[in-house]
Amino acid sequence: MTKLTRRYVLKSAVSGSVAVGLAAIYWPSSSFANHVNILPKPLFVPLQTHGREDNGVQVYDVTLQNGVTEFFDGYHTRTSGINGSYLGPTLMMRNGNSVRINVANQLGEDSTLHWHGMHLPAAQDGGPHQVVAHDQVWSPEFTVKQKAASLWYHPHLMGKTGEHVWRGLAGMVIIEDEETDVLNLPSEYGVDDIPLVLQDRWFTKDAQLSYKLSMHSKMMGMSGNIPLTNGTVLAYFDATTTRLRMRLLNGSNASTYNLALSNGHDFSQIATDGGLLESPVSLKVLRLSPGERAEIIVDLQAGKAVNLINVSLNQGDDNAPQFNFLDIRPQASLVASDELPDLLTQIDWLKESDATVTRTFSLETSMAMMSGGASINGKVMDIGRIDEVVKRDTTEIWRLRNPSMMTHPFHIHDVQFQILDRNGQPPTANENGRKDVVLVHPHEEVRIIMRFEDYADEHAPFMYHCHILEHEDEGMMGQFLVV
């Protein structure tokens, strides 16, 4: 066991009273964590880059590379990262700007880099069709055409997404726009506005990240017992302001997190995957599945430490144990932050009556299937098959069904959708916004609505898939063209 024996008591409306801390976890004897003392470390904040300007285009240079990361003092873990050994820089973009990203691959193997949440032409999407071979550079170019949001990027190579992300290949994209410029939200990067890539990993006895799938991990996805926050184990953050904005990304392969504050206080969610909610939503627990993002504002009190924790709700397949993602340590005196506005934005709500097409997607996991363990509508992903053809400038409703025993976070490329209902019930306030991932619980039917705009391509498809990366790699993915 580790030196960290503090326990935190959370009074939650959802879960009642639970003790939370690293010490509360049972760690099997094969785990690395049983053999070392883990000491808290300052949170690593990924480098922020605005790129460089070249003839009116913002240009970003990113290199996929292998390296060594010291997650635990004195232990050298082989990892991969972007412009570094683990994770990558935060790419700052602005709505309306033209951008070009030079993606260089130095991994020694094929990969791709996908812009998750971005509305863009399919050929620039970085999905399984835009393979970047070792030693090659791929340079997608597009115009940022969406509202301020916290997006992210990660590899998307057929059958290899899970492994590449597990090794550390992921990073965030922050889009800003004129609307957020004047909202007075905390926005000083690394000070009162921090990106938090939340993950969990399993380390072998010699502190390596091994990616060997068992029958169980193919079925349940890869998860681990060590929480990583921007790649930091037992991270702490010295806060200097009364309000802290956290851009949360669930960057795990397969774990749904239930995020809460160790003091049981409420916090405010201000944004979903695709940007601002219309108004802040007060929460005690935020459920965030793989691929989802949320921006939250936490009120701090001088000198009073509070932790961002994952609580286990024993709901379906949460996977992750109870653990601590971030120890927030407010200084003895804090700079006063601005009040949170009551109104953040206005969303152009899509109307059910505007939809001209309804499609149904059934998310299936069945060990009995000969062709693989995961499928959509009975079909395992085939890169040579187009599953759906959508007409540009139309609005569609997609019915997502889950006849399986597990939850599946369903993701669609190119669009931000809105949730119409879950089993006929309207979505909760904090899901009532622009989304690109939606969790579909067992035996649930979720209806979402979206409009396909701007881009059409008869050859390059977009993907839709489960964002449990092992399910995606096992074939719970399909392709659609927008024509």
Give the footprint of ligand C2O on this chain (CB under 6 A): 114, 116, 154, 156, 291, 411, 413, 463, 465, 467
How many C-beta atoms surround the C-beta of residue 279 within 10 A?
A: 16
Cβ-count burial 20-53 (b if 16+ within 10 Å, e if not):
bbbebbebeeebbbeeeebeebebbbbeebebee
User: Tokens 């200084």 sit at which residue?
Assistant: 331
Q: Which is nearer to Cu ion, 407 or 418 (CB)?
A: 407
Q: Which is nearer to ligand C2O, 463 or 482 (CB)?
A: 463
Q: Which is nearer to ligand C2O, 18 or 169 (CB)?
A: 169
Q: Which is nearer to ligand C2O, 422 or 467 (CB)?
A: 467
Q: Least distance to ligand C2O from the beta carbon of 411, Å? A: 5
Q: Which is nearer to ligand C2O, 160 or 243 (CB)?
A: 160
Q: Which two tokens stand for residue 251?
A: 């960057």
Q: What is residue 205's DSSP assignment?
A: T
User: Which option in ligand C2O, Cu ion, none does residue 156 bind, with CB closer than 5 to 8 A by kind?
Assistant: ligand C2O
Q: Least distance to Cu ion from the beta carbon of 58, Å? A: 21
Q: Which is nearer to ligand C2O, 185 or 376 (CB)?
A: 376
Position 468 contacts Cu ion (CB under 5 A): yes
User: Which option in ligand C2O, Cu ion, none does residue 465 bind, with CB closer than 5 to 8 A by kind?
Assistant: ligand C2O
User: Which option in Cu ion, ligand C2O, none does residue 224 bind, with CB closer than 5 to 8 A by kind?
Assistant: none
Using CB under 5 A, pick the residue from 326, 466, 481, 482 that binds Cu ion.
466
Q: Bridge partners of 354? A: none
| Element of type H or E holding 163 | helix 161-166
Using CB under 5 A, pick the residue from 84, 398, 471, 478 that binds Cu ion.
471
Q: Least distance to ligand C2O from the beta carbon of 221, Å? A: 14
Burial tier of 342 (Cβ tally within 10 Å: 0-12, 13-18, 19+)? exposed
The rounded distance, in Å, linking the Cα atoms of 100 and 52 is 10
Identify residues 99-158 at the interface with Cu ion (CB under 5 A).
116
CA distances 203 to 69, 75, 77, 164, 166, Å, are: 13, 11, 9, 16, 11
Strand pairing report for 306-310 and 257-261: antiparallel
Using CB under 5 A, pick the residue from 408, 422, 435, 465 that binds Cu ion.
408
Q: Least distance to ligand C2O from the beta carbon of 413, Å? A: 6
Q: Least distance to Cu ion from the beta carbon of 74, Å? A: 37
Q: Which is nearer to ligand C2O, 156 or 401 (CB)?
A: 156
Task: Tell me the residue nearest to ligand C2O as measured from the CB.
Answer: 116
Q: Which is nearer to Cu ion, 129 or 284 (CB)?
A: 129
The rounded distance, in Å, linking the Cα atoms of 84 and 88 is 6
Position 347 contacts Cu ion (CB under 5 A): no
Q: Least distance to ligand C2O from the beta carbon of 319, Å? A: 18
Any residues with CB less than 8 A from the CB of 128 and at least 6 apart, and which?
112, 156, 157, 158, 383, 463
Q: Least distance to ligand C2O from the beta carbon of 291, Å? A: 5
User: Which option in Cu ion, ligand C2O, none does residue 201 bind, with CB closer than 5 to 8 A by kind?
Assistant: none
To the nearest 10°, report the CA torsion of 459, 465, 468, 469.
-10
Neighbouring C-alpha atoms within 13 Å toward the C-beta of 70 = 5
Q: Least distance to ligand C2O from the beta carbon of 169, Å? A: 12
CA distances 322 to 104, 143, 247, 258, 294, Å, are: 38, 41, 21, 9, 20
Stretch of 23-31, 43-51, 308-316, 400-408 lying at the interface with Cu ion (CB under 5 A): 400-408
Residues near Cu ion (CB under 5 A): 116, 408, 413, 466, 468, 471
